[in-house]
Homo-oligomer: A and B are copies of this chain.
């Protein structure tokens, strides 16, 4: 192997250490750090992220990338390293086109806008956020003009979160979905709703921790390479494939929230634990595609864990761990975990109405970047669409357009990935049943780890070396389509709600 390649690998290891330290500071800040530890930790975070930025934009790194991109060096690399060098070179070139002054101003506005959003949400007053949102939109357009001068802005943004995805494809996918779901949801909402009174009980945090441990083990989380923590909002992070962590939050009046969060984050974590360790510490060592990542968390959370058969072999154990569930039959439990409510809040919504929260964001993002709609018009548009799709109108902007923080730091184009994840899930399910027979049988027989193994082999091991459309093609041998998800929803909810 060439000296340049060895030096390059050493250099990446160096960057990885600075990443690792930032990850650890973040983990600690969200978890165990006491309140007054904040100043020390944020000082360190700023310092080490600045050091990492220097390493990631240095002439030394550029030289490695240029050398390794030359044919005589490039051809010596294996397929994974070719992918890594190409990706890093492309991103380096792209980022280099952003003027330093603009970048600093952008980072500063991100922070200010995020702060304004927090204040606006607290006061439920969109006008506090509007000028910052306007500025973030302008700066985002400017950023795209630097980085992707030949692309339409919104397509460039979508590409940031789900490489290779574009609005033409999403228009088609979300369009199919919307056409089918609008009437389905209307029928569900008109039907008889399950009685949830038995679920209003006390569940101790400690019991819920035990349930989480049980569920994570059951779906295949590897405790030698992972652990759990607690934080205000659940999340997953990883240092490498050898150390992947999930957090949870326990509400003592609601056991379902932490159970499904555990399974959702567990899906993200199982992905990261099963990436080929050879890719550790590189840009391909973790899944960077939000739609693909979300497809794994949502596959476990929705496709598998909202299936009655998932619980069949384990419900007795869960009842022992959560005594308040002893009076709840499996049938009642199954109905409650699929209870469709047309709620205001995306993160609390069921798998069906969830789709509309994303579709509305997508339609608004297109209105912003393609139709040039004024920022001031957005709250009314949000509310009108909520009324149209879900028969409800937010009482205020805090439970309407202000509920999510994504736009405040300029993460436009992020939202669609959540729903792309579900669309992929319908496709995986169809393919899985072709290869393994009915998923109901696999689950009922307690063979869920065979599904995990299937996902490991088909998706996880590749990390980021396969792009979203390549993953779908390799697993399902077809273009993305919403049809399987629509069929899944229709069959499941027709039966559940006697439609």
What distance in Å separates the Cβ of A216 from its nearest Cβ neighbour in chain B?
12
What are 23 of the A-B contact pairs (CB < 8 Å)? Answer: A17-B43, A17-B44, A17-B47, A21-B24, A24-B28, A31-B32, A32-B245, A33-B243, A34-B223, A34-B225, A34-B226, A34-B242, A34-B243, A35-B224, A36-B224, A36-B225, A37-B225, A37-B239, A37-B240, A37-B243, A40-B239, A40-B243, A41-B243
Residues of B within 8 Å of A28, CB to CB, are 24, 27-28
A44–B32 touching, CB < 8 Å: no
A276 part of interface (Cβ distance < 8 Å): no
A146 part of interface (Cβ distance < 8 Å): no
A190 part of interface (Cβ distance < 8 Å): no
A25 part of interface (Cβ distance < 8 Å): yes
Residues of B within 8 Å of A57, CB to CB, are none
A20 part of interface (Cβ distance < 8 Å): yes
A79 part of interface (Cβ distance < 8 Å): no
A48 part of interface (Cβ distance < 8 Å): yes
Residues of B within 8 Å of A44, CB to CB, are 17, 20-21
A21 to B19, CA, bound (A): 12
Number of A residues, CB within 8 Å of B: 34
A33–B227 touching, CB < 8 Å: yes
Main secondary structure of the interface of A (DSSP, over half): helix
A39 to B44, CA, bound (A): 23
A24 to B239, CA, bound (A): 14
Which of A27, A28, A225 is the most central at the interface, judged by chain B CB atoms within 10 Å of its CB?
A: A28
Number of copies: 2
B206–A36 touching, CB < 8 Å: no
What distance in Å separates the Cβ of A157 from its nearest Cβ neighbour in chain B?
33
A240 to B17, CA, bound (A): 23
Known: A31-B32, A32-B245; 11 extra A-B contacts, CB below 8 A, are: A17-B47, A20-B44, A21-B21, A21-B24, A27-B28, A28-B28, A34-B225, A35-B225, A37-B243, A40-B240, A41-B243
What distance in Å separates the Cβ of A495 from its nearest Cβ neighbour in chain B?
40
- Given A24-B25, A28-B28, A243 and B17 contact (CB-CB distance below 8 Å): no
Residues of B within 8 Å of A17, CB to CB, are 43-44, 47-48
A446 part of interface (Cβ distance < 8 Å): no
Residues of B within 8 Å of A239, CB to CB, are 37, 40-41
Q: State which residues 1-60 of A face B: CB under 8 Å.
A: 17, 20-21, 24-25, 27-28, 31-37, 39-41, 43-44, 47-48
- What residue of chain B has the Cβ atom nearest to residue A242's Cβ? B36
A394 part of interface (Cβ distance < 8 Å): no
A229 part of interface (Cβ distance < 8 Å): yes
What distance in Å separates the Cβ of A463 from its nearest Cβ neighbour in chain B?
16
Residues of B within 8 Å of A240, CB to CB, are 37, 40
* Residue interface mask A55-78, B partner, CB < 8 A = 1: 000000000000000000000000
B21–A242 touching, CB < 8 Å: no
Which of A36, A40, A245 is the most central at the interface, judged by chain B CB atoms within 10 Å of its CB?
A: A36
What distance in Å separates the Cβ of A282 from its nearest Cβ neighbour in chain B?
14
A206 to B227, CA, bound (A): 18
- What residue of chain B has the Cβ atom nearest to residue A14's Cβ? B47
* Residue interface mask A202-216, B partner, CB < 8 A = 1: 001010000000000
A113 to B308, CA, bound (A): 57
A39 to B33, CA, bound (A): 24
A21–B48 touching, CB < 8 Å: yes
What distance in Å separates the Cβ of A481 from its nearest Cβ neighbour in chain B?
38
